[in-house]
Amino acid sequence: MKVIQSRKFDPNHLTARDVLIIVPLVLGISAVGIAFAFLVSHEAYIKWGGLAVDTAVLFTFFVNESRQFLKNRRFWLLTACLLIAHLAGWIVFLMHVGEWKLAWFTAMILELPVFLHWRRRPNLIEPE
């Protein structure tokens, strides 16, 4: 029997490697966000910045709920297809809507059960 050890993140026991990965990542993402805020209009910042952040949160939840499939190539193909469909739909929608509030992105959470349903479909991830 193969034993898979997963590395648990414990903020009380950070290693130097953890810090060398986390700190530059957080600083880089923050710098991009701040630069984006100064370079575009408030409306564009809310629409496109909100789409980027909420998409990242949505797919983080989806991948986290799918840990048993992380080494499965079909899972990643499904995830890529879902991401493409998700972004295409939201981009078309946001290009045609006049006013958009950041809080309205909470409707995006309704996609998570749909994604999980597609992941559970027979033969989609695991062949017979």
Residue-range domain boundaries for the chain: 40-120
Q: What is the pLDDT of residues 64-86, one digit of tens each?
A: 998 888 888 999 999 999 999 99
pTM over 0.75? The answer is no
pLDDT at 7: 60
Per-residue burial over 5-14, b if 16 or more Cβ lie within 10 Å, else e, is eeeeeeeeee
Instruction: Identify the residue whose tokens are 């998409």.
Output: 55
Mean pLDDT of 115-122: 87
* Sequence-ordered list of residues with C-beta below 8 angstroms from that of 38, at least 6 positions apart, any chain: none
pLDDT band (50, 70, 90) for residue 98: confident
